[in-house]
Structure 1
Amino acid sequence: MTTQAAAPELSCYTAALLSYLETERPSAHTEFAAAIRLAVRTDPAEGGTAFSHHTRIDIDAHGTGLTHRSAAAWATARAALAGEAARRGRVIAVGNTRYLPWSPAYGETETPHWLLVEALADGRWAARDLFQALTPNGAHDPWTGTLTDAELRTALTPPATLTAQAANRDRYALGEEDTPADAREYRWLERAAAVRPPVEAGHWVHGDAALRHVAAQVCRDPRALAAHADDLWTAARHQRYRLTALGHGAGTPEAVDRAAAAWAELPRAARFATVSADRGRPRPAVIERAFTELLDALRDLETTATMRTEDLSHER
């Protein structure tokens, strides 16, 4: 078992997705930065609020894209994993943090977690996990190594339960709505032909309107805030990734830095408010201030970006 260079500020899903795509598309990271957005569905079938952090980038020019698969029997899942890895050189498998020895949640909290695996000639599996973050359980560092067949089976143990929020994350894991595989079974993703262009069903709000909608849902409801703390954390990481990747061209350096700092503060405030509420001392003002600062910073960023665009057009 060894550590490995980390991916930038991404979720475990997008860290694995970009690692999977960059083998064939060196521009995957640039494409992803341009695809990042914040959209929330207010009426998902699972209830609550569903987040979409980016548009889909896995569908290629031939219309093929990633599709969720599952199997109840390990022998079936193993054969499918080996077959897909042989065809593509690697396959995204859905692990479970409670059963990943390198995860800080090992033996404790279970969360779906994507990793790349490849079948080796000796019956073992090469596994790669580029995700890096400081989680509530501790630091999750990038890891690469080999697993026996039995170890891989354990790593992919289906979760005992899946919350509505986790189900929504699976449904929108590729950026836009897709039918997830059965979470009670071993899961992975395969590239399939003739993937239909995604159609956004339901009622969605985007950008600043999405933030205001989420703020209205969580600022005065500690349970809703706790349920969506991971979604806010994921949004913050992706938005900071976008600001870093696109550089200061989006606005003045000061406005970009302010927006990045405000995005970083939002999940910190959410965690603090959640812990405070758990201790019987709700502090809604903390998360309200974080949303207010973020919205102000984004307005400032948009204003300076518009001014820069106008200045450039006048120079021409």
Structure 2
Amino acid sequence: MADPYDAPAPVTTAAGAGLSCYTSAVLAYLAREDATAHARVAHATRLAIRPAAPPGPPAFRHHDTALDRLPDGTALRPRGARQLGPALEALAEEIEAYGQVLFTADAARLPWAPPGRPPAPHFLVATGHRGGQWYLDDHFSGLFPDGHEQVPFSGWVSSADMAALFTTDDSFTPVQRRRGREVFGRTAAAPPEGSRQWFIRVPAHGTDDGPDDDGWITAPDRVGNRLKEHLDAVCAQEGEPAVLEDLWAAARHHRYKYRYFLAAPGQDPPPEREHALRRAESCWSGLPKTMRFAVNSARRGRPRTSLVDTTLRDLAAAETEARGFLGQENKEHLWSVTTSSPTTSDEQRTPTRTTRPCAPARTA
């Protein structure tokens, strides 16, 4: 996951809609088959953390309902392989069966990314292949602190570029690997370290869909208190705290959420609701820069403890108020899926659609 400063992006633009690279790719994948995908992401957005032993950073989860389900009764599950050949064969099979495949690339090796990016997992969607070339969609966009901007990309890449960007996870940190396991709103099994990773569709019936909230903190005030404790402990240390990337992602997700609800048609909400949602969106908007300023100030020997405390308390209050207005709306939002036939194992594949292995000719 990259760590750019947040840049405004209206919900009505590309599928990523100003989200993190993970969620923009998941949304793009879902939206090809599910007309409610944008609503699902907005309704699902919620920040939860799971504390770790000090001084380790907490784990973050950005959604409270799993985003791995498709309307045909299948669910996305991670797979991996060390060797490039078998991994590419698996991607081709998934495209042939479903017309697309979600996989993990290295942000530092994307031909369209700004130079100088560090290694980081980055989700892409492949929708076609032909003669060693692959058609890739990347809906992520962001402005980095050094002034470089990454913009969305859709087009064909060569077999050499595909081999370079579809890497094993050896260069990724444990924190980065953990983020990938939480991408759908529940902890997913991970392939062995040293693997190239992608996601396949399996029958959802019988998959591991039980409760998965043990140890996770979801109340905004408690989340804020734990974040303050962690930042107070690590602000002055060398290196940027890992939680800044997670808070940047959370800010993007929540801005998307509140913009969606503010722009939702067919509503005549009371003024208090609009005020609460705009206040929450504003608090999330300023969070990444405020936290980075506090960290940099602490490194210079001028800790901004009160600034961190005030910012997180104001955010918790705004989030609690906004959740109150949206609570009933979330309860009334139902997303129905068809149920696949019973199966004894989620390894048994039942493709529901067959498409050509190559996407229509497009210009990179």
TM-score bracket for this pair, using the shorter chain length: 0.7 to 0.9
Is the Cα–Cα contact under 8 Å of residues 20 and 249 in structure 2 kept in the other structure?
A: yes
**How far did residue 232 of structure 1 move?**
0.7
**Separation in 2, partners of 1:302, 1:203:** 21
1:70 aligned residue (63, 77, 80): 80
**Separation in 2, partners of 1:21, 1:149:** 26
**Separation in 2, partners of 1:198, 1:153:** 37
Q: 2:319 aligns to what?
A: 298
Q: 1:231 aligns to what?
A: 246
Q: Which stretch shows the higher mean deviation, 201-210 or 31-40?
A: 201-210
**Separation in 2, partners of 1:281, 1:103:** 35
Instruction: Name structure 1 gaps, 5 residues minimum.
Output: 310-316
- Asked if residue 255 in structure 1 is aligned to residue 271 in structure 2, the reply is no
Q: 1:279 to 1:86 in 2, by over 3 A?
A: farther
**How far did residue 6 of structure 1 move?**
5.8
Map residues 117-156 of structure 1 onto 2, 5 A cutoff. Answer: 117-137=126-146, 138-156=148-166
Q: 2:182 aligns to what?
A: 172
Q: 1:253 to 1:201 in 2, by over 3 A?
A: closer
**Separation in 1, partners of 2:84, 2:209:** 31
In structure 1, give the amino acid aligned to 2:128. A
Map residues 1-316 of structure 1 onto 2, 5 A cutoff. Answer: 5=14, 7-43=16-52, 48-54=57-63, 55-60=65-70, 63-104=73-114, 106-137=115-146, 138-193=148-203, 194=205, 195-200=207-212, 202-208=214-220, 209-222=222-235, 223=237, 226-247=241-262, 249=269, 251-301=272-322, 305=325
How many residue pairs end up in the alignment?
302
Q: Which is richer in helix?
A: 1
Q: 1:293 to 1:219 in 2, by over 3 A?
A: farther
Q: 2:346 aligns to what?
A: none
Residues 272-314 of structure 1 deviation map (CA, whole Å, 9 limit, x = unaligned): 22333445544333322321221232345457x39x99xxxxx
CA RMSD of aligned residues (A): 2.8
**How far did residue 50 of structure 1 move?**
1.0
Residues 146-191 of structure 1 deviation map (CA, whole Å, 9 limit, x = unaligned): 1111211101123443333212201101111111223422111111
Q: 1:61 to 1:97 in 2, by over 3 A?
A: closer
Q: 1:68 to 1:299 in 2, by over 3 A?
A: closer
TM normalised by structure 1 equals 0.85
**Separation in 2, partners of 1:267, 1:43:** 21
Three-state SS of the structure 1 residue aligned to 2:189 is coil
Report % sequence identity. 31
Residues 203-234 of structure 1 deviation map (CA, whole Å, 9 limit, x = unaligned): 11103122322222223431597120011111
Three-state SS of the structure 2 residue aligned to 1:233 is helix
**Separation in 1, partners of 2:106, 2:219:** 31
Q: Which stretch shows the higher mean deviation, 285-294 or 8-17?
A: 285-294
Q: 1:43 to 1:280 in 2, by over 3 A?
A: closer
Three-state SS of the structure 2 residue aligned to 1:204 is coil
In structure 2, give the amino acid aligned to 1:58. D
TM normalised by structure 2 equals 0.75
Is the Cα–Cα contact under 8 Å of residues 91 and 118 in structure 1 kept in the other structure?
A: yes
Is the Cα–Cα contact under 8 Å of residues 126 and 144 in structure 1 kept in the other structure?
A: yes
**Separation in 2, partners of 1:60, 1:102:** 29
Q: 1:312 aligns to what?
A: none
Q: 2:334 aligns to what?
A: none
Three-state SS of the structure 1 residue aligned to 2:241 is helix
In structure 2, give the amino acid aligned to 1:204. W
**Separation in 2, partners of 1:15, 1:198:** 26
Instruction: Name structure 2 gaps, 5 residues minimum.
Output: 1-12, 264-268, 330-364
